[in-house]
Structure 1
Amino acid sequence: MSVRPVFLVIGSIAIAGVIGALVIRQTHGASDPGSAFMTSAAASPTTQPAGSFPAIPDGPRYSGRAASAVSPQIAQAPTPVQPRVVLPGAVPAVAPTGAGAAAPAAAPAAPPAAAPAPAQAASGDANTAEDGQATAAPQVDETALRYFARQGDTKRLEAEIARLKALYPDWYPPTDMTAPISVPDPKLDQMWKLYSTGRYAAARAAIADRLAREPGWRVPDDLLKRLDIGEAKDRLINASNAKQWNTVVQIAAATPSLLTCSDVDVLWRVAEAFAATDRSARARDVGLYILTNCQDPKERLATVQKAMQYLSDAELAELLALERVGADGRGEFAAVKTDLARRRVGAAAKDKAKVASPEDLALIEQAARDGTTADDAVLLAGYLFQHEDIENAAKWYQLARTRADTPEIARGLAYALNALGQQQEAEAAAYRWRDAGPENNEAYLVVATALLALDPPVKLDAAIVARMAKAISAAKFAPGARELGWYAYNTGQPLAAAQWFTAALTWKPDDEPSAFGLALCYDKLGAKAALQKVIKVWGPRSQRIADIGNPKARAGRTGLDALPMPPSIADPQRQAALSEPAVDVTRVAVPGPDGKLVVEPLPAAAPAPRAPRAAVAAAPSSGGGSGGGGGGGARNCSGTIQPDRLSGSAALSRGWCLLDLNRPIEAADAFAAAMRSTSGKLQSDAAYGKSLADLRAGLTDSAAIAASSAPQDTQRRVALQTEILTQRALAAYADDRYVETLFYLDERARIAPEQNDLLMIRGWAYYNLHRLPEAKRIFVAVAGTGSREALRALATLASDRQGSNIGDVRDRR
């Protein structure tokens, strides 16, 4: 054979191949935008591992570029019959099929005519080529279209029209597709019906039965493909529900026609599978695809809401950038942005190191104001409390409580009020929900303990004291028991205080402040044996407790050695638990840990203390009616009258008048009558006057209660507190209770400077506790001011250091 015929044959074969490729491209490739994705899914194992998901384009490809720049590998959503708004860069996708799907993904197109034979191509007959292309025009299968029309399934009908238009651009739907037509094949129609209801196994059984009966019958390719896709979708959903994420990805990779806007639920499940297998970037890409191509507003919003569960804020920001703004100016993702703000503010509310942005806080504040539920107000309050904006936190908790009354709100409000110094309101807020759970019970115990720890002690109703004591005893809350002990001690109830200090040490044997308080109680009660037991156990561990056992400590005065004693002191080798039966308390007195009233061996209001010579004589006096509005002079109060019969202002004036006449007991009664006035200013002035009267009468504990019964300005509050602590220090010194003297002087030094007379009291207290270096330092400092008394004290100290025993300081002065 010559060379020329060989080249002619090869050329003819090449021309025929080119023509065939053009025909196939016209009927399939050019009109099927999902072909690239399916080709990727069907890649050989050498180029794409089995079960791997075809690469989804990165997010930036869907960020608004021209459509020509987009190369999606996911099957695109169908182009609807009527024009619809599509985001920049979106490409219509092929719809999936199956039960619940909108339309088939890729119905088989009519096979093209066979390519021309090599001889025909070699002849170069143009007419023959044109005839071949004409005969290659595809035949549109409208079986599914007419079936959906007969069933009245509008959604699937529209999706099927869109699919056919995508496959066959020159095709137009028939005008009579919804009109009743005769069913040419009732058996096939029944198979379609089984498919449309999701009964795929029944449809396949019907196909197998007909093939067995009619061997020559051919199953429509479209029906088989639809069944395959429907079954794949069912497997994907089942795998997703079972959290078999790799299986979800494998099915999606093998069935790319499922991944379209016509079945967003499948896309959501695939995105979730990506996120669950640590491929959040791929999950983000799925979200970008949906927001770029899919149009349903509800599905778009749900896409972002679901993405919040597994995408970071940075990845979510890419999705939010595709937000559409409505005619009212409101973005379609406004609700999601608020949810995101809630998430970030909630995280910052749990971690003080995190700070929410002003924009997020503004969103939550607006939602809290506009809403009707308490959730946003509680969230904002929690954040503000964590970041120490306590005042605003309390306001938001109070707003939340107007909408709901829950344990969480009560707990937050109680902590906020407690931090603001409103302990009584905090206790009331926490009490109702104290038994709602461990957190609320702890909150109540904390605020109740803070209320009891106020100095000076506040005047409380008997019912409030009783319920706090009951809760503290039931919880065996050692800090609360300790503060109840101090509250009882400072209100003149040392025996009740001893019982609570005992309870605190029983529940927390290493609580040194409770041991110190117990020692002071025993010392005040004159219980020598009990005091020595405390000193024996605690002296080596606490210097201030050891100091109580100095040689000058008074011996027992009342014979009350059978006092409450914690097991850790009475028997250090064995710790026993106490029982706390609850009882109702109806007196304004601190009940014991057992709930019973304590009969004090000493009166709550002790007589005026014996002043320790010159130092006490020089102590500052409380003064008369300064700041109280004065009185009417002696002539207005020289007679006797019941103050209860006077008006509030008249009783107040009489009180100042009596105080000027140095009749403090009568003045205190008049001020007490004035305190019943409804005027806040009058109540404050009367409380201040009564405190001064009680102080002048030597009723220090009563003065402390009166001072806390009504609000006072800072100047009055500091003045009263200073005088109360001064009198307590002097009373303790006069009673030879030197450790307690130093305790009160230290408290006083925090709010006011010490004068020379009190410094001398401090120095002699150190002296009697054998703390000679501290005593010398104080005496030297006072002597530097020219005090002769301090010089005599230094001389006494020097003689003791030369060998004399330390004696009673008052005998040496």
Structure 2
Amino acid sequence: MRPFLTATLFVTAFTGFAFAGDPVNLLVDTKSKTEELLPAVAEQPLPLAPVLSGKETLPEKAETAKAAGPDKVELAAIYYYAEQKAEARVQAEFRRLKRKYPAFEMPADLYMPAAAKAVDEKALWVLYEKGDITGAEAEMARRTAAIAGWKPSEDFSRKFARMKLRKSIEVATKARAWQAVAAAGSELDPATEKEPDLLWSYIDALAALKQTDRLAAVYRSMLFREPQNVLAKKDIITTIEKATRDFSPADVRAVVAHFSTDPVIAAGLGKVTEDLVRRNVADFNGDDSRKDALPTEEIAPLIEAARRDERPADMSLIGWYELKIGNPAEAGAWFRRALSAEANAEHAKGLYLALVKQDRQQEAFDVALAHRQALASDPVFLMNALAERFAKPETGAIDPAVMQAYSEAILANKSADHSEILAWYAYNSAQYEASRAWFTKSLGWKASEARVKGLALSMAQMGDRQGLIALYRAYGTQYPSIWDDIHLAKPGKGRKQRPKENASFIDRMEVGAVTPVEGNRVARDPAVATPQKATIDNGYLAAFKAKRYGDCLMALQSGALSADQALIKGWCLLGLKRASEARSAFSQALAGKGSTQADAAYGLTLVLLQAKLTDDALSVVNLYPMTESRKREVLSEIYWQKARSAFDAKNFQATLDALNARIAIAPEPGNLSQLRGWAHFNLGHLAEAREIFRRLDQHMDDPGVRRGVEATFGNVQGAPR
């Protein structure tokens, strides 16, 4: 996240000059002299208060230049007097040289033994040239121990220290150890440093650590130097290019305007101007709160650049912009050009959505199919793009390549919903072995009544009596209303059995045999009567099964309702989104027995959870029976709601308690793990929070996770939105 500035970052520093007029105008005032302006700029205070500490400041600016010192000839006398131990003459000579050269200091080796002075440093310089810091330090330690009073020359010490500083910055930057980079970079003087690449690393560290005050000061010191220390023009350009990452477009434009009087720099900053436009459009595209189209003058430079340079990224950026402001035809044209220049998932997604917005579904499907390999990187998108064709098999035969792409996306994403869609497609195409396999996968990922029924129908068509018995034992109580529709395929000649007295439900299903048919239905044997239960009470059960909820309620209007009827009424009301009435019906149905009471309890908890009445839902779970799978489903939602509510109330320990209760019964998805990380963070458990966000960052590309990583590793306060 870039620093937010309430005023132009670079420009606000110019207020207080001895010039009249607005500071922005001052930057472009051709009457003022750059030599007069720059020294004043360098002395301005920071525009922002420090982020982490009010004591954060940059080192004092070093002297711009040192006066020339004495040469070896002029120093000969003071060395001679020192060797003679004539201290009075040493001091007199020192005062003379000091008057002549104010910066002169007593030589460090003045009283060093002659043996130490005579030591050759050639070996040290060889190690220095090799960049062997460890070897040079070892050699200096050896000499210090072996030669009394020995010290490396001032020249070597200065250059060796510089080499160590550069090495430490380079190594830490490569490792993204920003605290270490910032610590080493603080030894640099941004107003005089002659190696700007070190300052750029320092800038990267300050940006990563969100130290906006120091970041602004470093940029300002680099760009607005005194004439004798000014950066090379190419380095000024590079520095401003980096500033586009860290500051608002308005801030950067002010600096670009200031340097525009230099033709070389102005030419080099042309790319910066275009990047500012790109960033402005990208920010608009990513901000859901912004709906109105940008002014023409803001979008026009990007359109011109896209037509001139044919950059696919620019075309795509304009495409997303046009799509957002409601021009899908324009968006589609840009995405098609981008896709022709560079076939990737981003451009294919854009073109697909632009075509869908124009109700050109077949063309959209063709785009998804043609670019299925690229879209495989986003299996959710690919599944949704291909799903409609499988949900409507009457549109024609499906290419095996499409089938493979869809199935691979389903497996990659473990999508129960799309697995069910593919299973029904296979069933309706009389591919019962395939439908059985996909219904089994879908049911394994998430149970539902439709998936159990689909699997049972597939088994029935395959004549798998034992499989049906096992499935009924597993789900018969949980989904009691589907089994009347399940009949085994007719057995071979001579194998039809007569019903036994007191036969089980599954045995009776074998008697009600059917002949497999193509299409999406299973035809009953005409000799088998429809169960009486489906026709009583004016057909309310049949209406419910057909999802004709209004007809169901009409059939249940007269007379007092039994617990079973109240249960069906509750489900119909819930299907019509009449939650308060459904709550009353389910409450009445709790008076029933066995599966009726369990189903009523389940329905009532769903209604209560929709209304965020978490404690009431928990009471129902504790008071009434419920199947284990439903109980896990309901408790998972209850503990999630409790965790979110506690977090919103800033009760972070209660948040963790609820999440711990939930994870004991169900896997924890990424969004809940993020909530756990922020709860630890706000409780001061930095190590736990850091580990959670680090682990999430390895598996998720999510803005919330990135904020968590920045907050925990950068020690910056933050919280999810």
| Larger radius of gyration between Structure 1 and Structure 2 | 1
TM over 0.5: no
What interval of TM-score do these two structures reach, taking the shorter chain for normalisation?
A: 0.3 to 0.5
More helix by share: 2
Please give the TM-score of this superposition, normalised by the length of structure 2.
Answer: 0.43
